[in-house]
Amino acid sequence: MSTQSNFPAVFSLKGELAVVTGGGTGIGQAIALAMHKAGARVVLVGRRENLLAEAVKAMGEGASYIVHDITHLDAAGDLVARINKELGPVTCMVNNAGIHLKKSAVDTTVQEFQDVLSTHILGAHALNRAVIPGMTERKHGSILFIASMASLFGIPLVVAYSSAKTAMLGMVRTLSTELSQHGVRVNAIAPGWIDTEMSRKAFAGDPARKSKILSRTPMQKLGDVSDVGWAAVYLTSPAAKFVTGAILPIDGGVSMGF
């Protein structure tokens, strides 16, 4: 008698085609890897071909990449059309690409603010706009945003980044109400402090900052990129078929701690 459980099947992404922007490094790469392990075919989109190629090579069959700058808003339709033609219809759109800017509000120029918004918000909107018609026609699809703790509470010196990540939550709420009746779910993940190459570099020059962050994290540790990756699998899998408009913190309790 077999003891194998059918439970994991509900988390399977077999048959899905996921596009992950900013998929060559960090959290984006971890999301792509987890989705690939769950059975999805994945397309990594980013600007740095060497990193994309390395990430795809590590995943193997069923993973590919396209070099593309999502701030080229008019090219979003062409990108999606190319994917549809070469690989099939996009069933999952992961809006992860972003840039960071650490400056006081008075030192943040209008152009710098616009650059951050263009990547996080306008770039995501252009791609979503390109994939939504196919998703609604097929009555099947999932759109996922990677937001931030900066979406949930005040963090100094990141006015442009915080504004962009907060705007994502507005997009989640509106899109989920627009698209749910058409079989398309829209959700977000809000990562807390995750152990990435970027965070390690930041902490290397500022150990007091890491201590302060850990003291404010109830679990008293940083998260792994895989924590975000598997959360993305859940939100785009059949296990979350009745979940839309949700903002899921992956933060070790930061957003609920004191």
Single-letter amino acid code for the residue at 47: R
Residue 56: φ, ψ to 5°? -65, -40
Q: How far apart are alpha carbons 34 and 78 in whole angstroms?
A: 27
Query: Token pair for residue 99?
Result: 């840039």
Q: How far apart are alpha carbons 107 and 94 in whole angstroms?
A: 31
| Ranges assigned E (strand) in the chain | 17-21, 41-46, 63-67, 92-95, 141-146, 184-191, 247-250
135 and 182 Cβ atoms separated by less than 8 Å: yes
Query: Token pair for residue 170?
Result: 């507005």
Set 65, 113, 145, 161: catalytic member? 161
Q: How far apart are alpha carbons 232 and 22 in whole angstroms?
A: 15
Q: How far apart are alpha carbons 192 and 55 in whole angstroms?
A: 23
Convert 164-202 to b/e letters by CB count within 10 Å (16 or more is b). Answer: bbebbbebbeebbeebeeeebbbbbbbbbbbebeebeee
Active site residue 161: yes
Residues identified as active-site? 161
